[in-house]
Amino acid sequence: MNLDFEKKGSWWVAEFEATDDFNLHIERAGGGNIAIYQTSVPGTKFDYVRTLNQGINDDVVDTAIIVPIPPMTIKIESKSMPTLAVATFRS
């Protein structure tokens, strides 16, 4: 699934529903912070996922994410616009 980012304030933001384990691949032309959040209850506040936010200034993020009890809503915020962002689900 290709992820679509929208400019919100000074951040580029994408949200999607994770229905199973997935791999997240993001490429960015510029650095800057990137943050990954999750919530298991639709319409509630997101939690900052500390274990996924290492190397936050990297131009490329490629990581596998386990979703133990789907669905889970994922939000990604990036200071620079992603040039490629894909979530590939296991099933």
pLDDT for the residue 55? 59
Distance CA 67, CA 44 (A): 18
pLDDT tens profile 8-21: 999 999 999 999 99
State the SS3 of 13-54. Answer: EEEEEECCCEEEEEEECCCCCEEEEEECCCCCCCEECHHHCC
Q: Is 55 left (phi over 0), alpha (psi -120 to 50) or beta?
A: left
pLDDT tens profile 20-36: 999 999 999 887 889 99
pLDDT for the residue 75? 96
pLDDT for the residue 54? 61
Confidence grade of residue 90 (pLDDT, cut at 50, 70, 90) = confident
pTM: 0.90
> In which residue are the tokens 């032309």 written?
29
What amino acid is encoded at 71 in this protein? Answer: P
CA angle in degrees (0–180, nearest 5) for 15-52-87 = 45
pLDDT tens profile 32-74: 889 999 999 989 999 998 877 765 678 898 989 999 899 999 9
